[in-house]
Amino acid sequence: MGQNSSHSAMHPLRVLLRFLPKVGAALTLVLTVASCTSLEVAAPPVDKLTLPKKANRTQLAEGRQILASHCVKCHGAPQVARHSVEDWNEDILPAMTKKAKLSNQEAVLLKNYVLTAHDALAAHPVGS
Ligand code: HEC
């Protein structure tokens, strides 16, 4: 053990550089969890919703996936229950489908999720 090696191991900058990636990773995790939580509340996953038996859960989950990947880029997760069905149908969906550049098929899947989740949340709010 030379004096040299112990000096380099204890250098404050080296210590900082060693821990910086961990701090970054922790911060990323916190931010990811925080944003997931608000998405979970704003647009609950299909298995959190009380749905009619005939509901096509696979398609609804695809619609929610479109929301989760395309509708959170410019603003926070859109709150499904906060806007009326009329607003969704007449204003928000037509405008935001364009902004998000969704295909017709994606737009249909998204709309299906939003309107179904809206009804489900009105009848059975999540967490109550
Ligand atoms: C390219 C950026 C962009 C994308 C992508 C986007 N939005 Fe928006 N969104 C906006 C802006 C800007 C506003 C506020 C101004 C406005 O209403 O046009 C907004 C407003 C909203 C509002 C609030 C409307 C109101 O009247 O309070 C909702 C809800 C919304 N967006 C949902 C969505 C959904 C759902 C998607 C995915 C299909 C989406 N947004 C994708 C930019 C975007």
List the chain pLDDT tens, one digit each, 128 residues. 545 555 556 777 787 778 777 777 777 766 665 555 589 999 999 999 999 999 999 999 999 999 999 999 999 999 999 999 999 999 999 999 999 999 999 999 999 999 999 999 999 988 65
Phi, psi for residue 50 in degrees, rounded to 5:
-90, 105
- How far does residue 78's CA lie from ligand 1's centre (Å)? 8
Tell me what pLDDT residue 33 has.
58
Ligand 1 atom nearest to 107, measured from its CA: 38
Q: What is the pLDDT of residues 54-91, one digit of tens each?
A: 999 999 999 999 999 999 999 999 999 999 999 999 99
10 Å CB burial of residue 1 (0-12, 13-18, 19+) is exposed
Q: Output the CA torsion 74→77→83→88 (10° steps).
A: 60
Ligand 1 atom nearest to 73, measured from its CA: 5
- How far does residue 75's CA lie from ligand 1's centre (Å)? 7
Tell me what pLDDT residue 37 has.
59
Atom 31, ligand 1: residue with shortest CA distance: 96
